[in-house]
Amino acid sequence: MIRIKYKCGRTRKNCAPSFGGPTVVTITQALSRHHKLCDSLFTECEAAASEQRWDDVDACHARFCSALDAHLAAEESLLFPALEALTGLQGGPTQVMREEHAQMRGVLERMTQAASRRQHQDYADFGEMLLILMQQHNLKEENILYPMCDRSLATRSDELGTRLEEVLTPP
């Protein structure tokens, strides 16, 4: 028998059921969801830039930069140290990911400069470069690194996944 808990007070009316305890979020789920958010923000930036709506580009680009920075920082401050502590490796896959993060940050900075100068073609060119870097990077993370972390850090996967989701959820 499944017991359904309701989270909204005394009656079942207008309540969403909760099956069991709190929702468990894996590392892969938390970070893959955030990849989708970053992708969506990036698409908004590209659309605004293609129409040269620079006020919209400025606002969207700021949101995208904030989201991407939070994502990279969460991996570098939470996920990578946990994996490195477990494996004892400082120069393995996490080092490759950090190097790719640095590449993405560099291209993003050039996009930011192009936006501030209202240089549509440069913004588009650097955007295309960043898109390729992000797609390749995210593919490696979602298909190799994150599942490896879920397995290797199995005793902490739920805790880390939940913590990552908390850090990455906009206020």
Q: Kindly report, residue by residue over 119-136, the tens digit of the pLDDT.
A: 999 999 999 999 999 999
Sign for the CA dihedral angle at 96, 98, 149, 28 comes to negative
| pTM, rounded to two decimals | 0.83
- Report how many domains make up the chain: 1
The range of the structural domain enclosing residue 81 comes to 24-168
Tell me whether residue 152 is in a domain: yes
CATH number of the domain residue 41 falls in = 1.20.120.520
Query: 2 in a domain, yes or no?
Result: no
Q: Count CB neighbours of 52 within 10 A.
A: 11
Residue 154 lies in a domain: yes
**Residue 120 included in any domain:** yes
Residue 45's CB is within 10 A of a number of other CB atoms, namely 25
Does residue 68 contact residue 168 with C-beta atoms inside 8 Å?
Answer: no
Tens-digit pLDDT profile for residues 36-52: 999 999 999 999 999 99
Q: For residue 4, is it within any domain? A: no
| Residue 133 within any structural domain of the chain | yes
